[in-house]
Amino acid sequence: MNETIFQKRIDAEKKIEPKDWMPDGYRKHLIRQISQHAHSEVIGMQPEGNWISRAPTLRAKMILLAKVQDEAGHGLYLYSACETLGISREELIQQLHDEKAKYSSIFNYPTLSWADMGAIGWLVDGAAIVNQVSLQRTSYGPYSRGMIKICKEESFHQRQGYEIMAQMASGTAKQKEMAQDALNRFWWPSIMMFGPHDADSPRTGNAIKWKIKRQTNDELRQSFIDKTVEQAEVIGLEIPDPDLKWNEERGHYDFGEMDWEEFWNVVNGNGPCNKQRLAHHKKAHDDGAWVRDAAKAHAKKPKIAATN
């Protein structure tokens, strides 16, 4: 009975809220998806954080730092959304450390030059936006509202990343080489951010029926590629895909096959930076334990007004 009422609400495009009844599978799917999303924001701070101390100008430094700070904020926001489903942030972080919870495969690739800051902003945030814009209409209210909030900042980041790429692509020969190299390295990993082909996507399950997902992996991927190919042309960079060509009939770009072996390797912990990213997160968490303990102990003591 509950199930029928629930599905009626979904079909009528009414948002599900934390206190509403929901199928167990719906709750579990959302916890997995939202926490993975939150972890991605937090782990995603590392590849970009890697370049803050080496950013080439004061302006670039400030923009990058503000961006990484936004990501931490997005992480917080998403952890909160996830907590409305009855799980704590501590449990979610534990799942991440136990490798039970995943984060986006893209953050397991290293950032090897300043141009990677451009590539990440332009491609990775670009792919995230396509996905998140679609999720603004997701059926779970707190998640949907989170996406609406986050998308605004994310679009800004993407423009900034594209600006870095454009600047470098029109700069010195060395800069242009760095920009093209960054595009070469981040193109396929970005395409893979949308996940497996629809036919090989075992976890999709009821996600479409429950309107958690509003578009399939392949639909989202196509829309990202169509948008991005033209942006690359504008700044004179070449997409590293010999099979890429406009298909008049479909009204879309055709593109080559992704390296799925690499994809599954990275997803399953065997990418270039998987171990490093997780170890970094654990170390920060462990190093901070005495600080969190002190804060907790102090909070329990009788209050004295803070100095200023």
Partner 1 sequence: MSSLLQYTLRIADSSLILGQRMSEWCAKGPTLEEDIALSNIALDLFGQANGFYEYAAELDGEKSADDLAFLRNEREFFNHQIVELENGHFGDTIVRNFLHDGFNFLFYTELAKSKDETLAALAAKSIKEVKYHLRHTSNWLIRLGDGTEESNPKVQTSLNNIWQFTGELFEMDEIDNELLSAGIAVDNASIKSEWDNIVNKTLKKAKLSRPEDGYMATGGKKGMHTEHLGFLLAEMQFLQRAHPNAKW
- Chain contacts with partner 1 (rule: CB under 8 A): 42, 45-46, 49, 52-62, 65-66, 68-69, 72-73, 75-76, 79, 114, 164, 167-168, 171-172, 174-175, 280-281, 284, 287-295, 297-299, 301, 304, 306-308
The C-alpha angle with vertex 116 and arms to 114 and 118, in degrees rounded to 5, equals 90
Q: Provide the greatest CA pair distance for the chain.
A: 73
Least distance to partner 1 from the beta carbon of 254, Å? 36
CB atoms within 10 A of CB 35: 27
Q: Which of 124, 77, 132 shows the shortest CA–CA distance to 105?
A: 124
Q: Are 212 and 85 in contact (CB under 8 A)?
A: no
Q: Which is nearer to partner 1, 177 or 218 (CB)?
A: 177
Q: Which is nearer to partner 1, 4 or 307 (CB)?
A: 307
Amino acid at 138: T
The C-alpha angle with vertex 176 and arms to 175 and 177, in degrees rounded to 5, equals 90
Q: Are 217 and 201 in contact (CB under 8 A)?
A: yes
Q: Which is nearer to partner 1, 211 or 281 (CB)?
A: 281
Least distance to partner 1 from the beta carbon of 55, Å? 8
Least distance to partner 1 from the beta carbon of 168, Å? 8
Least distance to partner 1 from the beta carbon of 11, Å? 37
Q: Determine the Cα–Cα distance for residues 180 and 173; give it in Å rounded to an integer.
A: 11
Q: Which is nearer to partner 1, 1 or 289 (CB)?
A: 289
Query: With the C-alpha atoms ordered 71, 240, 194, 189, is the resulting torsion angle positive or negative?
Result: negative
Query: With the C-alpha atoms ordered 26, 27, 28, 31, is the resulting torsion angle positive or negative?
Result: positive
Q: Which is nearer to partner 1, 69 or 268 (CB)?
A: 69
Least distance to partner 1 from the beta carbon of 274, Å? 16
Least distance to partner 1 from the beta carbon of 209, Å? 34
